[in-house]
Amino acid sequence: MGVYKFEGKEPVIGEGSYVFETATVVGDVTMGKECYVGPGAVVRGDYGTVRIGDGVAIEENVVIHARPGEITVIGNHVTIGHCAVIHNCTLKDYAVIGMGAVVSDYAEVGVWGVVGEGAVVRNKQQIPDRNICVGIPAKIIGQINDQYEEQWTKFKKIYNDLAANKYPNTLEKIG
């Protein structure tokens, strides 16, 4: 596992969380319990701070970072899709960030906010609770419904199970 101390700051990884050996977690990072950090993901708390809640899924090749002396905050049960960039912003509980999306400095994605694949949430942009945004720049196109929330609650549980039960107990390196 690529977890590194930097200038006296050491990541804290919560119970039942799983960080792939090819992922990198550096410095002032606090991660809650039952989180999943996929291969190639980078969580950098080198000169900024990163706070991650419980049950967060950080898929392959995601980059999470913060500006010097500032903070990126990720709430509980957030899903961050493959190759997304999360920089110096706030993602509230249950947010879903699509593959290849960018959430930029000082932006905020609300509770159950959804950022579509490839979207760019601009500097200081606010995505309200339960709203869906897509495009470059991101524009709100609607709201999630109860069926969406129910479906994504099941998807989020899959990553919790992978982190807590599957990968630590059954992953075997063969080469």
pLDDT digits (tens, 9 = 90+) for 20-40: 999 999 999 999 999 999 999
Q: How far apart are CA 139 and CA 157, in angstroms?
A: 28
pLDDT digits (tens, 9 = 90+) for 85-138: 999 999 999 999 999 999 999 999 999 999 999 999 999 999 999 999 999 999
| 3-state DSSP helix/strand/coil % of the chain, to nearest 5 | 15, 40, 45
SS3 readout for 135-151: CCCCEEEEECCHHHHHH
Show the domains of the chain with their CATH numbers. 2-170 (2.160.10.10)
Q: What pTM was estimated for this model as a whole?
A: 0.94
User: For residue 96, which of 119, 67, 70, 125 has the smallest C-alpha distance?
Assistant: 119
